């Protein structure tokens, strides 16, 4: 099957923000600015919607506070109890960060993949489950926003921006596994909308989300090969049911669940873009945002693992020589190597995200490589940090124990490391990415 032409660049005039000039949202933004100006003219206190003032430094500071006050104190229990990080997500929503990647024209903060990677990095440094739950919400929001209709803005994006709605991405299926871009879930046109039947697996945020961005295939046997679509399914749609709670080795707060859709009816307005648009969404929105959310999350683990190891070297004192481990050249060397691996990977991730946000034509190959390198890097760095820390890290309940289990998922969250490297190789060879 040849779904993807050799080119791995983005469409001319990248559609991500094609609707940014949507009249309603332009009006909304102008009204906000007008209000601010009016207040100043009247000689009152300068009051503006704080979101218009949120530059990335402010967002990072807010996130740092949330990480310190809410995410870190809950991380161990979230892992132990496999509990969805409700308080952390609530704090992020209350702080106005739920619309991080929703374009400003829709009332969101209007940031791209770099900000998403950086916020997930901060969250992931303490709790990878929280980072992924926030990341998958943000990826879902970016997919809805990519070609949002007025109705989709009103019913999904506005509540997302207001911190009242969590969405999430539901692409994976048992039948096609790592080939997440090949759904088998059926979409049938009805006089008043669509009927959806199928089962999605590993849906992060599980039944805690308010809506699901699902991929489907046209039920019509005459539909052309590769005719996939994206649809938003509200949680309260009739016919949704859930599999057992997630009991994974790591990422235990994800609340990933199997989602069954049994003749679920959705209105025509819930179709994203046009029928058959899914592959465009996959490469222009899902992959870039997803890859950077994941990459940021695991960069956060790498950073914290290095910090754990470093602290141990400084504080661990050996009585027989009267020295700390920080004075052993071989361990200094090992710490230096770990930092190098982290820093080069971080620079690759940031570079990839900046390239995508700047619409550079070769961004996709760099994004793919960044996620694959992070996956190798995080497993390696956490493993090395365990060496630095000796037995204390090997105990049940240690931070590195959790990091090690969480880190391993980086390879298997689609696009998996194997699939990414195949795609990169194909791109370099001038072959279509989706040849199987
Ligand atoms: C914690 C967690 C959270 C997740 N969250 C979500 C989510 O929110 N939404 C969602 O849609 N999905 C989610 N997933 C699913 C995930 O993205 C993958 O789709 C899924 O884990 C891979 O499918 P599989 O396990 O069936 O792998 P399989 O298809 O069984 O593949 C097994 C291995 O074979 C490799 N492989 C498969 N085909 C090839 C090939 N042609 N060439 C080379 N190697 C190949 C794969 O890379 C993999 O390593 C999540 C998974 C996890 C573990």
Interval between CA 175 and ligand 1 midpoint (Å): 11
Model confidence pLDDT, tens digit, residues 132-170: 999 999 999 999 999 999 999 999 999 999 999 999 999
Interval between CA 55 and ligand 1 midpoint (Å): 35
Domain boundary, last residue among 165, 196, 221: 165
Q: Within a domain: residue 434?
A: no
* 413 CB within 6 A, ligand 1: yes
pLDDT at 434: 84
User: Residue 323: which CATH number?
Assistant: 1.20.140.10
* 366 CB within 6 A, ligand 1: no
CA distance 288 to 286: 6
Q: To test the ligand 1 pocket, which listed residue (175, 249, 413) has its Cβ within 8 A of the most ligand atoms? A: 413
pLDDT at 277: 86
* 425 CB within 6 A, ligand 1: no
Same domain? 264 vs 314: no
Query: Higher pLDDT residue, 395 or 435?
Result: 395
Ligand 1 nearest atom to the CA of residue 415, by list position: 17
* pLDDT band of 17, cuts 50, 70, 90: very low
Model confidence pLDDT, tens digit, residues 327-343: 999 999 999 999 999 99
Query: Higher pLDDT residue, 228 or 63?
Result: 63
Q: Within a domain: residue 370?
A: yes
Q: How many domains does one find in the chain? A: 3
Interval between CA 131 and ligand 1 midpoint (Å): 19
* 248 CB within 6 A, ligand 1: yes
Domain boundary, last residue among 254, 276, 298: 276
User: Residue 119: which CATH number?
Assistant: 1.10.540.10
- For the entire predicted model, the pTM comes to 0.89
**Res 86 pLDDT > 70:** yes
Same domain? 236 vs 294: no
Same domain? 36 vs 90: yes
Interval between CA 412 and ligand 1 midpoint (Å): 5
Model confidence pLDDT, tens digit, residues 275-306: 888 888 999 999 999 999 999 999 999 999 99
* 36 CB within 6 A, ligand 1: no
Q: Domain range spanning residue 55?
A: 12-165
Same domain? 151 vs 56: yes
Q: Within a domain: residue 212?
A: yes
Interval between CA 361 and ligand 1 midpoint (Å): 27
Of all residues in the chain, the percent with pLDDT exceeding 70 is: 87
Nearest CA to ligand 1 atom 43: 418
């Amino acid at each position: 099957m040849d779904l993807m032409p050799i080119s791995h660049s983005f469409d001319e005039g990248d559609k991500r923000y094609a609707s940014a000039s949507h009249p309603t949202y332009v009006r909304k933004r102008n009204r906000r600015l007008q209000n601010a100006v009016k207040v100043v003219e009247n000689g009152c206190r300068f009051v503006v919607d704080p979101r218009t003032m949120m530059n990335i430094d402010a967002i990072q500071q807010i996130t740092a506070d949330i990480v310190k006050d809410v995410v870190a104190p809950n991380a161990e229990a979230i892992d132990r109890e496999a509990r969805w990080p409700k308080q952390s997500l609530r704090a992020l929503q209350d702080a106005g960060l739920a619309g991080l990647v929703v374009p400003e024209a829709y009332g969101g903060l209007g940031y791209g993949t770099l900000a998403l990677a950086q916020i997930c990095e901060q969250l992931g440094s303490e709790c990878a489950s929280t980072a992924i739950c926030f990341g998958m919400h943000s990826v879902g929001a970016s997919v809805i926003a990519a070609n949002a209709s007025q109705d989709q803005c009103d019913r999904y994006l506005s509540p997302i921006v207001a911190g009242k709605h969590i969405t999430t991405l539901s692409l994976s299926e048992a039948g096609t596994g790592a080939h997440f871009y090949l759904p088998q879930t059926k979409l049938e046109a009805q006089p008043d909308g669509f009927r959806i039947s199928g089962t999605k697996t590993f849906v992060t945020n599980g039944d805690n989300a308010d809506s699901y961005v699902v991929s489907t295939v046209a039920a019509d046997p005459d539909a052309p090969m590769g005719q996939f679509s994206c649809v938003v399914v509200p949680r309260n749609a009739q016919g949704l049911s859930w599999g057992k709670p997630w009991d994974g080795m790591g990422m235990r707060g994800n609340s990933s669940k199997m989602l069954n859709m049994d003749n679920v009816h959705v209105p025509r307005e819930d179709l994203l873009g046009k029928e058959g648009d899914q592959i465009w969404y996959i490469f222009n929105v899902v992959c870039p945002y997803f890859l950077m959310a994941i990459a940021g999350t695991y960069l956060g683990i790498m950073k914290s693992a290095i910090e754990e190891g470093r602290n141990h070297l400084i504080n661990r004192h050996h009585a027989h020589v009267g020295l700390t481990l920080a004075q052993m050249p071989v361990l200094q060397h090992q710490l230096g190597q770990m930092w190098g691996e982290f820093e080069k990977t971080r620079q690759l991730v940031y570079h990839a995200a900046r390239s995508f946000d700047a619409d550079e034509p070769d961004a996709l190959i760099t994004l793919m490589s960044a996620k694959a390198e992070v996956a190798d890097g995080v497993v390696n760095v956490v493993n090395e940090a365990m060496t630095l820390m000796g037995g204390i890290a090997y105990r049940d309940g240690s931070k590195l124990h959790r990091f090690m289990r969480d880190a391993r998922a980086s390879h298997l969250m689609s696009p998996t490391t194997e699939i990414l490297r195949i795609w990169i190789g194909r791109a370099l060879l001038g072959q279509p990415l989706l040849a199987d």
